[in-house]
Amino acid sequence: MGASTSGDLNDTAKQIDADLISEGNGLRLRPVIERYDSLDSALQAVADGTDAVAVIESTEFAGVSQNYTSLREAGSLTGEVISTSTKGFVMGTNDIGQDIYSRLIYGTRIALIIGFSSSLLSLFLGVPLGLLAGFIGGALDRLLSLVMDSLYAFPGLILAIAIAAVLGPSILNIIIAISVLYIPTYYRIVRGQTLTVKEEVYVEAARSIGARRSEILWRYIFPNVIPSVAIIFSVNVADAILTGAGLSFLGLGLPPTIADWGI
């Protein structure tokens, strides 16, 4: 950590300390910032228990962290490379001089947002469609199955690249592009489960006592297809994170000023 960075952190800590005192809550912040010549010496100090490390999760700290992931340019975003030296960086820098380690840590939130959001969106679309197709059958089942099989005909990453290229680079467009890949998966699994469950004895008993079709679908069939959906969701989250990172790596994801796992 450089001297100027340590001074900025000390100034920030003093300002927070002053704010705590002014609020009258009696809290004090006593920062102790030590400078080490190498990463090994810093890790050894932590292992020896000689230093206490405090992590402050706040908007101020997020702003400081984001500075390490931005383009190192004095002026506008012209694309000019200032420095790509890897000296002093744990994992080195990329082609435009950005610290890969900082972008990896700070980009975790973006990766998780993309993974969970795209998986949830595909779940909310694929599960109801699978339930309706399996329960109602007929022309609706044939039409939806044709659409889903058509999506399955394309390789997943190629389809995501095509959708992202059309929609443009943004986190929302990446989520939409990735979610399209997983809708057929939920549809086919839920449809198959629905075709099996609707022939069970307890479903026939519900029909015999005059239960409505909507009640049979959501009260008797839907709860029995949830276990398989939970397993698919956990797998899709991990795959969506990798797909989002791949899109960013290919230049079809987020712009380089936003840290993510595409590095």
Q: What are 145-152's contacts with CB under 8 Å, separation 24+?
A: 145/191, 148/183, 148/184, 148/187, 148/188, 149/184, 151/180, 151/181, 151/183, 151/184, 152/184
Check pLDDT > 90 for residue 202: no
Tell me which of 143 and 57 has the higher pLDDT: 143
The crossing angle, in degrees rounded to 10, of helices 171-197 and 108-136 is 30
Cβ neighbors of 149 (< 8 A, separation 6 or more) are: 184
For helices 108-136 and 226-249, give the axis angle rounded to 10 degrees: 140
DSSP state of 222: G
Cβ-based neighbours of 221, under 8 Å, separated by 6 or more: 131, 135, 194, 197, 198, 203
The two counts, helices (H) then strands (E), for the chain are: 11, 0
Break the chain down into helix, strand, coil percent, rounded to 5: 65, 0, 35
Residue-range domain boundaries for the chain? 3-80, 108-249
Q: Which residue has the higher pLDDT, 116 or 105?
A: 116
Q: SS3 sequence, 25-68? A: CCCCCCCCCCCCCCHHHHHHHHHHCCCCCCCCCCHHHHHHHHHC
Residue 217: partners with Cβ closer than 8 Å, 6 or more residues away = 131, 135
According to DSSP, residue 24 is labeled T
CATH fold of 108-249 reads: MetI-like fold (1.10.3720)
Rounded to whole angstroms, the Cα distance separating 226 from 75 reads 53
Distances, alpha carbon 40 to alpha carbons 86, 87, 138, 158, 212, in Å: 17, 15, 67, 43, 68
Q: In the prediction, which pLDDT does 18 show? A: 65
Mean pLDDT of all residues in 216-230: 86
Chain segment 72-96, per-residue pLDDT in tens? 433 333 344 444 455 566 666 766 6
Identify the DSSP state of 85: -
Q: Which of 29-33, 150-154, 165-169, 206-210 is predicted least confidently?
A: 29-33
**Model's pTM, two decimal places?**
0.63
Q: Is 75 left (phi over 0), alpha (psi -120 to 50) or beta?
A: beta
Predicted confidence (pLDDT) at residue 58 exceeds the cutoff of 80: no
Most trustworthy range by pLDDT among 9-18, 226-235, 253-262? 226-235
